[in-house]
Structure 1
Amino acid sequence: MDRLAEFLPSAEKGYLPYYLWVISIVSMGNALQNYVTLHYTRRIYNGRFVPNRSLPPASDKFNPEDSLAKLKPASSTDKDSEKAAQDQVTPLAARLFGTYTFMAGIIRFYASYELESRFLYHLAFWTHAIAAVHFTSEMLVFRTIRFSGPQIFPFLAAYSGSIWMIMQYSNYVQ
């Protein structure tokens, strides 16, 4: 057990470094799986979408294919649209998400050992705050997430990490 303790960050001022260390390892593992399979990412982003037929036609100033609103959530009652439904988790989206998540994991890992550094503390906080905003907007604005099952962990990690870091700021940063 002493050998393991040599590698772990100090918990002299509290358990926040352990939390950041664990969540950094989880983040990096999640990031790597995004390069191997879409399965787990699809469990989080579980919405089915269909082409948005209410967009105006293509013109010199507007291309519906370039619109962020080109897809809309599929209706569970419209069987014809369900046939055309697709998810938005593509290999490209998974790799982008994986790259961001790996970067966030690295920042959290370094911060877990150096929480007294104001800059690393702020960076680690922002990795949580950005994740919280992302998952919340995906649920409330873009409707690609439902708050249940596999979606609970990212919300809990993002919000609890943000709140914990705000509450402990003066304990670590002088």
Structure 2
Amino acid sequence: MASYLLPADGLLPKWLLFVSIVSIANSVQAYISLKGTREVYAGPAPPPLPSGIPKRTVAATQESTSPVTPLSARTFGTWTALSCVIRLYGAYNIHDKLVYELCIWTYVIAFAHFTSELFVFRSARIGRGIAAPMAVATGTLTWMLLQWGAYVN
């Protein structure tokens, strides 16, 4: 029975399935809370505060620099869900050239988006929140390009 649930042989299709499952959780989280999305889009670094300020004041100041609104979080959740669907198709149709290309494009768009938010628009900053999506976008995009010939005929 597990053979029906798992995608094609190889690690890449299983990775695409894993990323899709995590993306579903991220999409749901974006709809019910701003916390995770604000961690990714933390905004510009706040100015340094004088010493002696309580930690909770520092945390509140850092959170307040995030440009995330309830609408932008839900939009991000919807975008993530759409990418998840395409990547699920990629996991189960890894040998289909068109599906493989569409899956690659989801990572190109994600990489371009996160890079522009980090360096152009400055709605994100170097840290834990942006590190995971950047690593997944960069790593998976590179992996898919390198494995093209192994999966696409």
TM-score (norm 1): 0.75
Match of 2:77 in 1: 98
Change in Cα spacing, 1:147 to 1:75, as seen in structure 2 (3 Å) is closer
Structure 1 runs (4+) greater than 6 angstroms displaced: none
What percent of counterpart residues are identical?
A: 40
Aligned counterparts, 1:134-153, within 5 A? 134-153=113-132
Residue type matched to 2:19 in 1? I
The answer to whether the 8 A contact 1:139-1:146 is kept is yes
Are the aligned partners of 2:46 and 2:65 in contact in 1 as well (CA < 8 Å)?
no
1:5: how far off? 3.6
Report deviation, 1:27: 1.0
Name 1:116's counterpart in structure 2: 95
Pairwise CA RMSD of aligned residues? 1.9
TM-score by length of 2: 0.84
**Following the alignment from structure 2 to structure 1, what is the Cα–Cα distance between the partners of residues 146 and 45?**
41
Q: Deviations over 1:107-136 (max 9, x none)?
A: 101110111111110111011111011111
Give the direction of change, closer, same or farther, for the CA distance of 1:171–1:30 in structure 2 (3 Å limit): same
Amino acid across the alignment from 1:27: S
Distance in 2, Cα, partners of 1:87 & 1:154: 17
Q: Does structure 2 conserve the Cα–Cα contact (< 8 Å) formed by 1:34 and 1:98?
A: yes
Query: Which segments of 5 or more consecutive residues in structure 2 lack a partner in the other structure?
Result: 51-60
Aligned residue for 1:26? 22
Aligned partner of residue 68 in structure 2, secondary structure: coil
1:131 aligns with 2:127: no
**TM-superposed deviation, 1:4:** 3.1
> What CA distance in whole angstroms lies between the structure 1 residues aligned with 2:114 and 2:26?
15
Q: Residue 74 and residue 145 in structure 1: after superposition, are their counterparts in 2 closer, same or farther (change >3 A)?
A: closer
What corresponds to 2:133 in structure 1? 154
The alignment of Structure 1 onto Structure 2 pairs a total of residues equal to 141
Larger radius of gyration: 1
Greater helix proportion: 2
Moved more, 139-148 or 92-101: 139-148
Of 111, 129, 149 in structure 2, the residue corresponding to residue 170 of structure 1 is 149
- SS at the partner of 1:21? helix
Look up the match of 2:41. 45
